Amino acid sequence: MTGTLRTAEDAIFIGAEIYRTSSYGKAHPLRVPRVSTVMDLSRALGWLPPERFRASPRAKPAALALWHDPDYIAALQAAEALGEATDEMRARYHLGTLSNPVFPEVFRRPATGAGGVMLAAELLAAAPGAIHVPGGGTHHGLPGRANGFCYLNDVVLGIKVMLRAGLSRIAYVDLDAHHCDGVEVAFAGHPAVRMISVHEEGRWPFTGAVSETGGGSSFNLPVPRGFNDSEMRAVLDGLILPRVEEFRPDALVLQCGADSLLEDPLSRLALSNRAYLEVLAGLQRAAPRLLVLGGGGYNPWSVGRLWTLIWGHLCGREVPDRLPAEAEAVLRGLGWNGGSRPLPGEAMLTTLLDPPREGPVRPEVRARLAELERR
């Protein structure tokens, strides 16, 4: 281990109001509220006093050019100004597609997420601690185009800021249901970055096979449908903890995409939010600096509950058995903002913690862990 992580006494939350009023559009999975829900729930619980909150800055084009192509950044700004994508923008930069639509804040929103993660990286490089940026985690973004709902790659930008500041070993653990293809592109073969991704097999972007090593920097574990809490515990003990601890990182970046939860409409995994907390608790002492990001997640209730729980854990708060009325009202006020999906059950409106979702550790999970252990 490289040092003990301080959490409760100095944890910081970075958020922004832009998420409250911004949507990808009524037909897009990211029409649902997420970061604003976490802020509202955390405040309703008394977990987010003003001294813990930092408003996310909006990253400027020059800062984004740390990884993104200047012509792409300019195109993203132009699309926002025009309110639409030109044919060239669609063909060259994948803007204005079903996955990556042009919406009123198409530059400002991702630039705010990137600014928050880059600020967190600067703060952590300067001093150990723990920072939660639920608006971060856009791990698919590529240098010169949008990709998979991600216009910028704040994960890559944050890690690059840490490296530029002098940190020499960064571990990245990704729990999103989708493989972190953009991050792997950025750091394949990079000796200072170790990447571990646990993602659903056979799901877009169809990368991240066990055999894919990212130039020796990656450990990829595709998992089968129905992946449960018991299997995640086996992955934590058999892959994540050993590979992070042997790397002895100066900083750990944990992407907590909420689409691996049972309730998510865009994946077929079956985790409870307890499984994420177990991974977080296991990793907390693996590095003196911890940056926890959001990511995917398309059920507003399950996303809000998970990312709020993560913040509560980082700042040392006790989870109530039943939510106080003000917090319950936040969850009851959510909706799908379109479509015909059913409303959640009562437990998702009155509590934060899911019931455990244990199950067998299936042979294919054990076999893939054994294959990675041999590397």
Tell me the C-alpha distance between 226 and 228, whole Å: 6
For residues 102 and 80, the answer to whether their CB atoms sit within 8 Å is: yes
DSSP summary character for residue 219:
E
Cα separation, 328 vs 24, in Å, equals 26
What sign does the dihedral 19-25-26-30 (CA atoms) show?
negative
The distance in angstroms from the start CA to the end CA of the chain is 21
Catalytic residue among 28, 94, 140, 179: 140
Mapping DSSP onto H, E and C, the string for 91-141 reads HHHCCCCCCCCCCCCCCHHHHHHHHHHHHHHHHHHHCCEEEEECCCCCCCC
| Cα–Cα dist 44/36, whole Å | 12
- Whole-angstrom CA distances from 141 to 51, 60, 328 are 32, 17, 35
Q: Which of 285, 335, 296, 307 is nearest to 14 (CA)?
A: 307
H or E segment and range at residue 170: strand 170-174
Strands 12-15 and 53-55: parallel
Is 140 designated active site? yes
Q: Supply the residues annotated as catalytic.
A: 140
